[in-house]
Chains A and B, each alone.
Chain A
Amino acid sequence: MKLNNACKIISPVLFMITIMIILPAPLESTSNEIKFYGFAEIIKYDENGNVVYSQTVHNRLLDAGEDFINDQVFQDSATSADNVQVAVICIFQGTIDTAETETATTFDGDNTLTEANCKEDTAVATASSTAVIGPLTFAAGGTNAANGDTIAAIGICQPNAGSNADSTDCATNGILFAVVDTTDVILNSGETVDITYTFDLSSSGT
């Protein structure tokens, strides 16, 4: 009798689980998802050159960045010489706005760093459908930030057409392509961070 009752309980449960196995989950299909994305890797070193933290985190590709891609790929009235194509990483202190409408001007306006916080990679590596800016090394002590400043985000920008030197803001150079909201990393005297930005266009079919 007990076995009968157990069967009467277990059978419906098994039938239900079987139905749950057969029925597909009402998830959005991921096959149509846009595959390309950008991400930054930030590595912090102490004053002795030892790694104390590393983080890999995705970016927010901005409207201006999407327009820039279209302008570069398709023939229209907008042209861009090779020396003003995206190649700069700017470190940022403050509260980052990751809305897609963020611009270089608002990025600079919110950035409380006053040193030459933007660095250019004069030879961005492009291969296998990816572009890699950096690693670029940012230092405290007045070089790219003051001692004790906090890197809260990074911006990816166009370079200055007239100079490869470190610069103080993104807007002077051109558009803000993407932003990355990183963990708040404090740069004390002697400490540095290496930042690499990767933009990956590879798809599963290529």
Chain B
Amino acid sequence: MSNSPSFHFLEKNFLFNSKTILVIAIILFTAAFYFYGTSNSLLNQAVDPFTSPNWDEVANRNIVKNSIPIILLDETFGGKCLVSAENFSLITSHQYFLKSNQLSNELKYDSNEKTLLISCDKLVGEKSALNVWYATEEAKKHPTKYEYFVTEWNVELNEK
């Protein structure tokens, strides 16, 4: 595209050199970014598969929220902690969770030992809550995306 006839036409007839054109491109890009934003743009749609889900943009009915207790077993190398997750399969087995294998791989789920590897920085004490949210396939924005996060195990909320 940079060697296209139209580019040369601009250079020759309007005395634009490539640096001037670059400056104009930067100005237009900055103005477009500032005035239009990217939330509903074609650009946003193009990069959407590679971004984290924005739950505010997903209708509540298209979000499935799961939570299980996880218990610290051991600290391994590289800042990763081995945790017991007895009920992790309850999260991954649901038919709506299309990327469950991806999460299992990401957390190195051992289905025999029922353990996960999670960054030790994320844990809050010996017992924490692993929360997994995912968007269903029908979601207009961020379909099938998931996110996990660890929160404090709230004894009052989580135990009868």
A23 contact set on B, CB distance < 8 A: 41-42
Among B14-22, B73-81, B103-111, B117-125, the stretch in contact with A: B14-22
Q: Is B137 on the interface with A (CB-CB < 8 A)?
A: no
Inter-subunit contact A24/B41 (CB<8 Å): yes
Inter-subunit contact A7/B32 (CB<8 Å): no
Assembly CA distance A45 to B26 (angstroms):
58
The answer to whether A21 and B22 touch (CB under 8 A), given A8-B7, A181-B95, is no
> Please, which residue of chain B has its CB at the minimum distance from the CB of A28?
B140
> Please, which residue of chain A has its CB at the minimum distance from the CB of B159?
A50
Assembly CA distance A183 to B141 (angstroms):
23
Assembly CA distance A130 to B95 (angstroms):
27
Inter-subunit contact B32/A21 (CB<8 Å): yes
A11 contact set on B, CB distance < 8 A: 2, 18, 21-22, 24-25
Among A54-62, A84-92, A119-127, the stretch in contact with B: A54-62
Q: Is A10 on the interface with B (CB-CB < 8 A)?
A: yes
User: Interface size on A (CB < 8 Å)?
Assistant: 46
Tell me the smallest distance from the CB of B97 to a CB of chain A, in Å.
Answer: 9
Tell me the smallest distance from the CB of A114 to a CB of chain B, in Å.
Answer: 24
Assembly CA distance A167 to B86 (angstroms):
33
Assembly CA distance A12 to B2 (angstroms):
7
Assembly CA distance A8 to B26 (angstroms):
13
Inter-subunit contact A27/B69 (CB<8 Å): no
A51 contact set on B, CB distance < 8 A: 67, 69, 158-160
The answer to whether A45 and B45 touch (CB under 8 A), given A12-B2, A39-B61, A58-B64, is no
Assembly CA distance A88 to B46 (angstroms):
45
B61 contact set on A, CB distance < 8 A: 37-39, 58
Can you identify 26 A-B contacts, CB atoms within 8 angstroms? A4-B17, A7-B21, A7-B22, A11-B21, A11-B22, A15-B28, A18-B29, A20-B41, A20-B42, A20-B43, A21-B38, A22-B41, A24-B40, A24-B42, A25-B41, A26-B45, A28-B140, A30-B140, A49-B159, A52-B87, A53-B87, A54-B67, A55-B90, A57-B64, A57-B96, A184-B93
List 10 extra interface pairs beyond A20-B46, A21-B41, A54-B67, CB under 8 A: A7-B18, A8-B2, A8-B7, A15-B25, A18-B29, A18-B32, A24-B40, A54-B65, A183-B90, A183-B91
Sorted nearest first, the 5 A-B pairs with minimum C-beta distance are A8-B2, A7-B18, A37-B61, A14-B25, A20-B43
